[in-house]
Every structure is written in C-alpha cells, then in structure tokens.
Chains A and B, each alone.
Chain A
Amino acid sequence: MAVPGSQQPCLRNGTLALLLLLTTLTSGLPCHHLQTLDNAFPWEQLQLLDHMAPNSTHTCQLHNPPFFPDTLRYNNLSPQQAVAAALRILQHLFHTLSANSTSQHWHIQPRHCLLNQLQHHIHRLEQCRPDNARLFKGPRNLVFTMKRYFRDIHLFLHAHNHSACAWEHIRLEAITCFQHVDTLLR
C-alpha cells in the first residue's frame, strides 16, 4: 500500500516545474510587443519634454552641471545587456522627474503624461526582464558610470535648491537619456 505522503514531493516538483515554465512563457510574451512600443515611445517623450517648458532658452549658467557620459553613449552591449541598461536609465529618470519640485516650474499636464508613459514603459521592460538588478551584468565601469551620473544629477539639484535653471538643465539631460535609450532598444 502506497504512502500518501510520498506522492507530495513529486506533485510539488511538478508544480514548480510548471510554474517556472509558465513564468518563462509569460515573461517572454510582453517582449514581443517591445519593438512596437519602443518605436513610438522616445518620440512622444521628447515632445512632452518640449511641451513642459516651451519658452525656455537656457540663458542661465550654473557651475558643474552633469552631462550624459560618453562612455554610456558609445558602448557595444549585448541585446540583453542593452535592454537591462535601458531599463535602469528609465527607472532613474522616473525617480528624478517625479520629484515634487518639478511641478513648480513645468506645465502640469505634459508632466503627468510624461510620467505615465514612462511608468508604463518601465513596467513592460520589467516584465521582459523580471530581475533587472541581477541580469544587468555588463562591464563594471559601465555600471559604475551610470550610477555616478544619476547621483550627480541629484546632487546638482540639491546644490541649486531645485531652481528653475537647475531643472532646465535636468530637463535637457532627460532628452539625452531618452535618445540613448532609443539607441539601446533598437
């Protein structure tokens, strides 16, 4: 006579295997639409960034503003690493642009649209790569350079009390970031 308890490990293993299989399948499904999503995403974000501050001429000058690193611009990554890098950039941007101080200087409606689309795109990329932190196993200096860049942005804003001139510079940096994300996701 079979012991009922001996059947449970087999059932558990089968369930886990099935779950892993389903997870793999479901995680791969949104990536099929990533191509079409990426085609329209950068352009719409750029338009919204322009509409947030249309009258800005950037006449003010600030010391040591952060600029997008050239090492991140000209780097050959694998497709998986490129997607992971794009996801990281978008996540940082969302964190930076969603600060409350931006609402004082930019138009509200374009800003809301920008943040909504950014969040949606991040969600799609996260479904494609569920564990972004572990999968982004690119070159060490590349990862370090990206982290340092976004840290400098936060320091810059803090140093200039989140002024309009400082936010104007960050807005222009966001345009550069979206352009680079478009290059990574091609």
Chain B
Amino acid sequence: MLSIAVSWQQLNCPPADTRGINSHFHFPAYLGFLSAAVCSLPERILGGPPHNLHMESNNFQHILSWQARNDPAVPTSYRVFYRPRRNWDWTSARQCSGTAQLSCDLTEEFKDTSTEYYAFVQSITGTRVFNSSVLRFAPLTQTRLGPPEVNVTPCLNCINVTMKLPTSHYREKGKLLSLIDIYEELDYEITLKSQDREDKRAQEKTTEEVFSTVIEELYPSRNYCVSVVVSASLNKHSIPSPWKCVLSGSMAHPGYHLAAVAGAVCVSLVIGAALKSLHAGGYFLLGKSLPRALESIRRWVYPSWIFPAEEVDSVEVIPREVKPKASGCSGSGSGSDSEDSDSSAPWDHNYTRRGVLGRAPPAPGTPPGQYSENRPCEDSGTLGTASTPPEPRGSEEQDSDLEGEQDSGGEVLSPFPGLSCQCPAGQGGSACFTIDLQSVLLGTLEGSGHGPAAALPAREHEGLWQCDHALEARDDPGTGHKALGADGFQEWQNSPSEEESDSSESDTEQVTGYMRR
C-alpha cells in the first residue's frame, strides 16, 4: 500500500528539477513500477482458492472443511464438488452450493460406502473463481468408528461391561444402516485400568449392536476403569470411549457368612466351657466367704472398722467350783496331769467344747499352735467354748470353767475358733472358747504359779491374741460336737488399757473361777 501511494504521488507530483528534461523518460518506468506493485499485492486482497481441505468423518457423517485465502471482509462464496471414482463427472453438493461457510456436510452425498470419492472446493470472489486441490476420501476405510456407549456394573470379583455401538449416519434407500449392517462384523478391544497398571485385553468380535462381556478374576473392592475401542477389519480408525470406572464387587460369599458365624459360635462355646470348668473348680466366683481365721486377720489389719455390737442378754452368775479334768494334751505338766486325771466331772456339760473344722489331729509332740481334735486338755480347765450362739449359762459359769486352767502362762483364749489350742509345755492342756472378748477380763490361772498380778499373755501381745493351746473337740453327749461357725464368733476390739485395768479384777475373779463380763 505504501509503494502504491508513493507511485501515485510521483505521478501526480513530478519533481521540479527534472520536469522539463526527464518527464518522457520516467513515465514508462513509473507505469511499469505501478503494474508490478499491483501484481505483487497479497492474494488475500484479491482472493484465492481454498486450501487445507480436511474431511472430518465420524460413523459415516462426513464434514468437509477448508480455509480461505481471501480477506474475510471481502465477500466470498463457496461450492463443493464431488464424484465417485468410477464417475468422471463432478457433482455439486446441494447443501453447500454458494455457501459462505468454510465447511460442508457431505453425509447425504456419499451414497456408496464401498467406493472412493473425490471432492474439491470452489471459491467465488466477485468474478474470480478459484478451485482447490482434490481430496480423496474412502468412507468405508477412512471414517472413524466410535466411541461406543459403555456401561460398567460390578459383580463378585468381576465387572460386567455392556457396550453399544454408535449410531451410523449412512442411509441406503432412505433407511438408516448400523455399523453391523455395513461391516457385518466388528472388533472391540477393552482396556482395563486399575490403580497401578493398564492392560489391553484380547480383541474380540461381535455381530450385535449391543453386547457385553464379563471381566473376571479381579480384586474385590478395587476401582477399575474401562475404555472400549471398536474397529473393523477394513477400518482401524477408531475413537476410544471415555474411561468408565467402578468398584469391583465385594459381597462376601454366602458360605463365608455361615463359616464365620459357625466359627464364632464354636469359639464362644469353648470359652464358656472353659469358664464353667474354672468356676466349678473354684478358681473364681466362689461365692464363699473367707474362713473365720482369715476374716479375723483381715479385721485385725483394719482396726478402725466398726464392728457391730453383740447382742447380750442379762444372766445370773452362779459361782461354782470347776474341777479340772484329766485330758490328754501335748506338753502338759505332770502335776497338772494328775489333777486333771482326777477330774471326773464332765466339765463339758457346762459349756460346749468347740471343735476345729477340718483340722487333723496333730501328732504327739507337735509344736504348739497346731490343731488337735478330740483331745481334751489334761491339766487345764477345759475351756469350753459355746457353740454358736453361746449358751446362756451365764458368764460365771464360763468363768468357773476358766478357773480350771491349771497351767500357768495365763489363760489364753483364742478369739479364733478356727485355731487349735495346744497346751504349752508344763502348763497342761486347755481349750479354746468363743466368747465376747469385749467383756472378758483375763487373769492368770491358779495352778499356773502365777499370781493374780501375773501378766497375761494379752499384755505381752497387745492387740494380738495367740492361741497356743491345742483345740480339742470332745464328743459331748449333751451338747455334741459343735463345729466352729463363723457366725458365733464375735469381733472384739482390742483395748490394751482395759486389759491392764481389768487385770486386777480378773485376778480376783480368777479365784472364784469364772470370768466376769
């Protein structure tokens, strides 16, 4: 444009210096220059043939597109011509005659699928007509097939892939034909993608428009994606389907449920049987209380426990002389033995000798502290213990019983019915009583050589009773052998001060032979 303007300016405005001499010489030059400039103008200004013809064909829908060379501002019309290979005459596409668009649908024009077609585009710009190059196109071998419709459903360790062929745009005698009608047989290939790999399955054939296949031997509950490609033996141009993903089936086999339930039931039964056997064997949940001895130990450990008060009845004390009975007692003194042997009064009819449950009689010569059953003490006033509940004979009778204690060493009362009393050496035998120790005044025995002021063993062992006399059970026809019971035993509260204060009184009472409450 600039060169043209300059040329026109030079023609209209000749130079002043050379106006007279060179005007005849420069004019032809200018004219030639102007012609060359005009001829060298870009084609887009004057127009040109269409170029870059491209056939976009999908499932026998053929769209021809091209590019123009002329200026869009310059109006241009186009015409599309085509012919089959066998025909030499060109046919103009009816839908694309005189169109201003840069594309043309030739689906209805290509009626023969087996033959090859030729097409070109003609552009008309004003009076200038340009023809493009010829495009060759074979619908049967060059149209792109697909994508198929894919539907994926899960199953047990597998996925079911259902495919549907795309709709064909080809018509024969007005009837729309399918791809199976055209190709008779198609191939499809499934690409399976999982989280870490992508596999192409073997190509298979189909003669149906809707078909399915099952991909088995998959991992359960895993995401699988599927893409399908459809092709023909003569046409491998395909459009793959988009990825379709699904979780593979994870339903447990019905048999798995039964096996799991059966296994759980068996395990439960085994555990229940084991627990039952343990319970029967007494390893837990015994439901039994502790023995009295252990119970007392526990109470000794926790002296702050509040023990229930014992129900006490008022009684009349009748003093009476209690003769010691002769009884076998380990470690008893000789003197006391004789005295004991003279005793004929059944002392035990005044009180009940408490026997030791479950205790085997100790062997002769066994150390004190061991139990002995059915062995009344020899030289000690047998200290009967009332069976539970204590016999309402009166405390005086009990005290008289206590007086029969020959052995020194003090009167030792066992607060633990379960413990045996074994006569210490030289002190004669004695028996254990179950009495309310809260009201018992203890003192030394008469025959023991100890004065009334003799210290009681309780003094020596503050807060702790020790039974060192064998506990002997005697068959008492009156009372019978009474077993020790935990309910007959009363807890008592250890009070060293009371013991000391009561010791003098107990000494006095010892003379009378009974214990004062």
Contacts and interface: CB of A to CB of B under 8 A. Distances in A.
Interface of A: 38-40, 42-43, 46, 56-59, 61, 67, 73, 172, 175-176, 179, 182-183, 186
B391 interface: no
A57 B185 contact: no
Contacts of B114: 73, 176, 179
Nearest to A179: B234
Interface in B79-95: 85-86, 88
A172 B116 contact: yes
11 contacts: A39-B187, A39-B203, A43-B233, A43-B236, A46-B141, A57-B136, A58-B85, A172-B116, A176-B115, A179-B114, A179-B234
Contacts of A59: 134
Contacts of B233: 38-40, 42-43, 182, 186
B218 interface: no
A175 B139 CA distance: 13
Contacts of B133: 57
Contacts of B185: 186
* B contacts with A: majority SS: loop
Interface in B166-201: 184-185, 187
B184 A183 contact: yes
Contact of A58 (B136, B140, B141, B187): B136
A57 B134 contact: yes
Instruction: Please classify the interface of chain A as helix (H, G, I), strand (E, B), loop, or mixed, using the class held by over half of its residues.
Output: helix
A167 B203 CA distance: 36
Nearest to A47: B236
Interface in B136-155: 136, 138, 140-141
B132 to A, nearest CB: 11
B118 interface: yes
Contacts of A186: 184-185, 233
A182 B85 CA distance: 20
A65 to B, nearest CB: 8
A176 B236 CA distance: 17
Contacts of B235: 43
Contacts of A176: 114-115
Nearest to B136: A57
B411 to A, nearest CB: 117
Given A175-B116, A186-B185, 20 more contacts: A38-B233, A39-B187, A39-B233, A40-B233, A42-B234, A43-B234, A46-B234, A57-B118, A57-B133, A57-B134, A58-B134, A73-B114, A172-B85, A172-B116, A175-B138, A176-B114, A179-B140, A179-B234, A182-B233, A183-B184
Nearest to B138: A175
A43 B134 CA distance: 24
Contact of B234 (A57, A67, A182): A182
Interface string B68-86: 0000000000000000011
A57 B120 CA distance: 11
CB-based closest 10 A-B pairs: A57-B134, A182-B233, A43-B236, A42-B234, A39-B233, A61-B88, A42-B233, A182-B234, A67-B86, A186-B185
Nearest to A183: B184
A61 B234 CA distance: 28
B116 to A, nearest CB: 6
A40 B115 CA distance: 21
Contacts of A179: 114, 140-141, 234
Interface in B230-285: 233-236
Contacts of A182: 233-234
Nearest to A62: B88
A179 B232 CA distance: 12
Contacts of B116: 172, 175
A42 B236 CA distance: 11
A175 to B, nearest CB: 7
Nearest to A59: B134
A67 B115 CA distance: 11
Contacts of B134: 57-59
B248 to A, nearest CB: 31
Nearest to A73: B114
A73 B235 CA distance: 18
A37 B185 CA distance: 15
A179 B234 CA distance: 7
A67 B84 CA distance: 12
Contacts of B184: 183, 186
Nearest to B205: A39
A179 B140 CA distance: 9
A182 B236 CA distance: 14
B118 A58 contact: yes
A176 B85 CA distance: 11
